[in-house]
A and B are shown apart, each in its own frame.
Chain A
Amino acid sequence: MAQTTSTHRVTFGDGNTHCGNIANSFNTTVYNSDEDAKIMHWLSPLQPENRHHSVRADRFEGVGNWLLETSELWEWRGGEGGADEAVLFCFGDPGVGKTHLR
């Protein structure tokens, strides 16, 4: 079976283009072909973009923003450290989970 795809350069990292903050941009990934869509589903049926979209839609602006200002977070995302500084773990009880308020 002739594969027109065999000449494709192996390129990663296009993932950023639909990463952003524009509402509804998470559900609109369009693949080049049916096969591409099938490959994506084969890799995983999970759709974290959709979940992210619904979590952020339920978010209240400002809540939890303090974390983004902490030096721990900035040092971690600065990424200058090696493997030892690779992991940041935020722990807490679920607090005012939306399930508790319904």
Chain B
Amino acid sequence: MAGNTSSLVIDSLCDQAREEDIVVAWVYCDFNALQEQTIINIMGAILKRLVGRKIPDDIRRAFQEGRRPLLPDLMRMLRIAIASLPQVFICIDALDECLPKDLPELLGSLRDIIRESPRTRIFLTGRPHVNEVVRRYFTAAVAIPTSPDPDDIRNYLEMRLDKDDEPEAMNDDLRAEIVTTIQEKMSNM
């Protein structure tokens, strides 16, 4: 389920944000949005979130100068925004759906943020192969494997089958076969 893990963590942090003084920002990386999904736009999206609805004067002035923000501009604005907040959580979903050439710059920028504001927490998800590059930037990162649980798979399939557009084409045998086959294939991955 694309984004499932991140969306749970984001919701849970947002619940916490109602009680405590934290701010949660996130970006879901997406193969289908590679053109828009530049590092500048990712950092800009995080900044938008941190700014909320009260746009600081320095950002307004930079906008009125009329040029596109560059990464150093955004990083400077982000530093100011984060420093003014008690604690910031940043979640980036699906690092593997970022262009491989962009990943070092993205992780490097996040590392700069942590160096500046060590209380900032960063939540990342991705396929196993990005683990290596994440480690390069965050040697002490805690990594949790999230392979799908067979019960989760069955529950999810049942839910999707319940929503089937053509229920008349479905019967109990077919239903059972679909669930069993997919569960088997998943456990062989």
Number of interface residues of B (CB under 8 A): 98
- Shortest distance from the beta carbon of B27 to any chain A beta carbon, whole Å: 5
A89-B144 in contact given A20-B18, A60-B156 (Cβ < 8 Å) = yes
Contact: A99 with B53, CB < 8 Å? no
Asked if A14 is at the interface (CB within 8 A of a chain B CB), the reply is yes
Kindly supply a per-residue 1/0 record for chain A positions 62-76, scoring 1 wherever the CB is within 8 Å of any chain B CB and 0 otherwise.
Answer: 111111101011011
Contact: A67 with B144, CB < 8 Å? yes
A89-B47 in contact given A10-B56, A48-B27 (Cβ < 8 Å) = no
Stretch with Cβ within 8 A of A (4 or more), from B98-106, B133-141, B168-176: B133-141
Contact: B140 with A96, CB < 8 Å? no
Asked if B182 is at the interface (CB within 8 A of a chain A CB), the reply is yes
Number of interface residues of A (CB under 8 A): 71
Contact of B4 among A46, A64, A70 (CB under 8 A): A64
Contact: A99 with B2, CB < 8 Å? yes
Alpha-carbon distance A46/B36, docked complex (angstroms): 7
Contact: B28 with A55, CB < 8 Å? yes
Contact of A88 among B2, B63, B127, B142 (CB under 8 A): B142
Set of chain B residues within 8 Å of A10, measured between Cβ atoms: 56-58, 84
- Shortest distance from the beta carbon of A80 to any chain B beta carbon, whole Å: 9
Q: Which of A30-75 contact B (CB under 8 A)?
A: 30-32, 35-36, 38-40, 42-48, 51-52, 55-56, 58-60, 62-68, 70, 72-73, 75
> Most chain-B Cβ atoms within 10 A of its Cβ — which of A42, A44, A77, A94?
A44
Contact of A55 among B2, B41, B59, B119 (CB under 8 A): B2
Set of chain B residues within 8 Å of A35, measured between Cβ atoms: 60, 63
Contact: B52 with A12, CB < 8 Å? yes
Kindly supply a per-residue 1/0 record for chain A positions 1-41, scoring 1 wherever the CB is within 8 Å of any chain B CB and 0 otherwise.
Answer: 00101101011111111011100000001111001101110
Alpha-carbon distance A5/B76, docked complex (angstroms): 21
Contact of B48 among A44, A91, A93 (CB under 8 A): A44
9 nearest CB pairs, A to B:
A14-B52, A44-B44, A95-B148, A92-B146, A55-B3, A83-B118, A87-B141, A15-B52, A44-B45
